[in-house]
Structure 1
């Protein structure tokens, strides 16, 4: 059957159990390969979802340490049919120095596994500052946000194969981004924030995936005080969140949540 959109494709599958089998058509999430060129140098291939590509590129440049603010970008051109993004920086030679300090062109898979980011190579603890934030929010509100978040993705309902990432403030959801890779979804959220000049200092990032340390690195750079995950963090993520004053919560399901670091920002309900 023909593909229905750029996000998913219809496949015929065989449903099997110990006593029955039947054919069924299901929507399967499509992979999209995006090669990003910066100042005419190809630096990364992203396996992603064909959605919000501008925000993905912008957020990726920020979290990878290529730029610190949007004013450093001269232009971003997305050639969707070619699977390419062309970025021109205001400063022409800075990118060559960054590439020279790393392993060169990388392919980042949806698993976000062995391929390290540029930030991984260039940053150390001395480059990062602990977050200075007194933002607080009630536990009951976080739980409400998480329960709403888990029902908010139409693409997940269709394919069961996408990661979601939502940005919330004390009033509720600001916007939602989705991608086949959980790191890409975070980059899209941050790219959207940069594009629209959104202040992240009093926000909560909610993610559907597990939390490794490099995702905490993105949160530190963005100065987001609270990260809430449906899944669990790694030990390195907890240590990094503690060190840099990030509130990290996980395994948020139903009426329960695990607080792993800096729980002072989450106002617990009185036990009667």
Structure 2
């Protein structure tokens, strides 16, 4: 039976080893398909987790370059039973012009779940600017954030299959978002930040997933100075983090992590 949040359901499984078999029950994540329509045009189908859908829609529109700020959205209506979200932009022609301008030049993301196409302009970093190095934070504080983060997801504890993303500032944890796809989890965090007008210039974002170039672009665009991953980045992600002054760390475990760029933000 599905849980009340439509996030997981319990299956009876057979646990096998070389010398035994036993029946157990395991919570399995539920895939939820959300179709997003913008100004009446089908924009994208997302395979996601049925949780924080408003933040997911808002964050996805921002990171994909459809909007630059929340004031460009007139309304968002989500029909959860139908798996549809209807977005109306204040500029009726803007989205149509974007779709026509990028027709035939799509880039497939490394997102978890069913792959989907994003507009080519997301992969173009020519309109981005490097961050300043003014924000500093103690190294031990970042480690404490990661250790707290790794204990925070109740869904992960029960399913072992969810991605998490959390935002911290000098006061500690602001909020944590979860999804079957690591890109979706990041979008939910950024959508929450937009909706609550969070100042991202003095924050640390922590993700459970690896960091490819399309994910680091989201962080650069949001102007988040520090990104810490439990997994590892790709070569292009490191190069972009270095170019735009993002402090990028990965393989964070216990009392250590790997620093790939802009270590000067961490105070020892």
State the TM-score, normalized to the length of structure 2. 0.95
> Partner of 1:96 in structure 2?
96
Change (3 A) 1:240 1:195: same
Q: Counterpart of 1:23?
A: 23
Residue 254 to residue 154, structure 1, CA distance change in 2 (3 Å): same
RMSD: 1.8
* CA contact 1:46–1:109 (8 Å) conserved in 2: no
Counterpart of 1:37 in structure 2 is 37
Aligned positions of 1:50-61 closer than 5 A: 50-61=50-61
Contact 2:47 2:113 in 1 (8 A): no
- Are residues 45 and 113 of structure 1, via their aligned partners in 2, closer, same or farther at CA, if it must alter by over 3 Å? closer
Q: Is the 8 A contact 2:147 2:254 kept in 1?
A: yes
CA displacement, residues 184-241 of structure 1 (integer Å, 9 cap, x when unaligned) = 0000000000001110000000000000011110001100000000000000000000
The CA distance in 1 between the partners of 2:197 and 2:40, in whole Å, is: 27
What is the aligned partner in structure 2 of residue 245 from structure 1? 245
Q: Distance in 2 between matches of 1:112 and 1:247?
A: 28
Structure 2 gap segments, 5+ residues each: none
The 3 A distance-change label for structure 1 pair 21 and 123 is closer
What residue is the counterpart of 1:265 in the other structure? 265
Judge conservation of contact 2:113–2:180 (CA < 8 Å) in 1: no
State the shift of 1:102 in Å: 2.9
Q: CA deviation at 1:110?
A: 5.0
- Is 1:63 the counterpart of 2:41 in the alignment? no
Partner residue of 1:111? 112
CA distance in structure 1 between the partners assigned to 2:96 and 2:177 by the alignment: 31
Tell me the CA shift for residue 89 of structure 1: 0.1
Q: Secondary structure at the match of 2:240?
A: helix
Q: CA separation of 1:106/1:80 partners in 2, compared to 1, >3 Å: closer, same or farther?
A: farther
Write the distance in 2 (CA, Å) between the matches of 1:261 and 1:53.
33
Contact 1:72 1:90 in 2 (8 A): yes
Deviation of the 1:113 alpha carbon: 8.1
Task: Determine if the alignment matches structure 1 residue 11 to structure 2 residue 11.
Answer: yes
Distance 1:4 1:192, change over 3 A: same
Distance 1:223 1:195, change over 3 A: same
Q: CA deviation at 1:42?
A: 0.4
Q: Which residue of 1 aligns with 2:153?
A: 153
Alignment of structure 1 residues 141-180 onto 2, 5 Å: 141-180=141-180
Q: Give the total of aligned pairs.
A: 266
